[in-house]
Homo-oligomer: A and B are copies of this chain.
Amino acid sequence: MNNRICEILNIKTPIISGGMVWCSGWELASSVSNEGGLGLIGAGSMNEEVLLDHINKCKKATNNTFGVNIPLMNPKSSSHIEIVIKEKVPVVFTSAGNPSTYTQKLKDNGIKVVHVVANEKFALKAQEAGVDAIVGEGFEAGGHNGKEETTTLVLINQLKKIIDIPIIAAGGIATGEQILAMMVLGAEGVQIGSLFASSNESSAHINFKNAIINSKEGDTQLLLRKLSPTRLLKGGFYDKIKEAEDRGATKEELLEIIGVGKSKKGIFEGNLEEGELEIGQVSSIIKDVLSVKDIFSKLKEEYSTALSNTDKLIKTL
């Protein structure tokens, strides 16, 4: 038994690992693809040379479909697009930008295109641009986030009513029960970030992985609404931004506090005080650093149990 996401992306299991900066290298992507999901390489934190290297290593490490996530606001996005075309990467997820810019070009080169959206408006735009599927990413997601702050529960329900192409749910998902809940709302796949960011195969620093599994409810919050809403894990960097926002800091002041290279410092170098720690709200549910293999086993088992438990639910309300 299969669904449209599995068919379009040529995968067995409709679980996609998000293409996260400083986490999603060839090792994580190929491991996810080897488990039957779709692994994404996160181009957002890579220059051209590094991206090419990760694509080549990923090709060697898996015979299954994998993809690359390209944030379109990134100044390197046009050269990243050239690389994925040249390297015949089978799937590209685009995010943070206009879906009409590269969709046709990628499709003309036989690449499946999925665009990440946080609202109805961009979902319709992406569908119109001809993408094969969309990711609907809710308020729970780590890092950059939609201005509407629509949660995954509300967003997927809304999108399903207006969108015909398949929908992948993202934001706040780390269990098999949640995957089934998203399928009930009409999603045909899920994109999971935080859980894979904390996995053995993630290229994030162990300090960052430990910070994820030790986090508690309320430990991630959405800040930086005046610039681009961003979900951050609490820590020294968070405290500085929060203090500035509470006293009414301007965009310019906030940009100065952010500086450059802070997400690398936090996620890749493990400096939890000075670094920018982008991660999802669902971190509070994650209790262990697991291998990708164990994550897939856990999710599959939870999903199957939850699906068979639907027999015990009230038949008519």
| A interface residues with partner B (beta carbon < 8 Å) | 1-3, 6, 13-15, 119-121, 138-140, 147-154, 157-158, 160-161, 172-173, 175-186, 217-218, 221-222, 226, 245-249, 281-282, 284-285, 296, 299-300, 303-304, 306-307, 309-310, 313-317
Bound-state Cα–Cα, A217 to B3, Å: 29
A185 to B15 alpha-carbon distance, docked (Å): 18
Q: Which B residue sits closest to A160, measured CB to CB?
A: B177
User: Is A307's CB under 8 angstroms from B315's CB?
Assistant: yes
12 contacts between A and B (CB under 8 A): A15-B317, A140-B153, A151-B172, A154-B282, A157-B175, A157-B285, A158-B284, A176-B317, A180-B313, A181-B184, A184-B184, A307-B310
The CA-CA distance from A185 to B180 in the complex, in Å, is: 9
Complex contact B154–A284 (CB within 8 A): yes
Contact pick for A179, options B13, B245, B248, B317, CB 8 Å: B317
Question: Out of B6, B153, B245, B246, which one reaches A181, CB within 8 Å?
Answer: B153
Complex: chain B residue closest to A222, CB-CB: B149
Copies of this chain held together in the complex: 2
Beta-carbon contact of B140 and A314 below 8 Å: no
Query: A303 touches which one: B151, B153, B317 (CB < 8 A)?
Result: B317
- Name which residue of chain B comes closest to A310, CB basis: B310
Q: Are A310 and B184 in contact (CB under 8 A)?
A: yes
Residues in chain B near residue A281, CB distance under 8 A? 149-151, 154
B139, B179, B218, B313: which contacts A147 (Cβ < 8 A)? B218
For A285, what are the chain B residues with a Cβ–Cβ distance below 8 Å?
Answer: 154, 157-158, 161
By the criterion CB–CB under 8 Å, are A149 and B317 in contact?
no
The answer to whether residues A1 and B317 also contact, given A153-B140, A157-B178, A177-B184 and a CB cut-off of 8 A, is: no
**B178-A153 in contact (CB<8A):** yes
List the B residue with the shortest CB-CB distance to A287.
B161
In the complex, the chain B residue whose C-beta lies closest to that of A302 is: B317
Residues in B with CB closer than 8 Å to A147 are 218
Contact A154 B179 (CB under 8 A): no
A245 nearest CB neighbor, chain B only: B248
A181 touches B172 (CB 8 A): no
**Which of B138, B148, B184, B299 interacts with A180 by CB under 8 Å?**
B184
User: In whole angstroms, how far apart are the Cα atoms of A152 and B172 in the complex?
Assistant: 10
A177 touches B186 (CB 8 A): yes
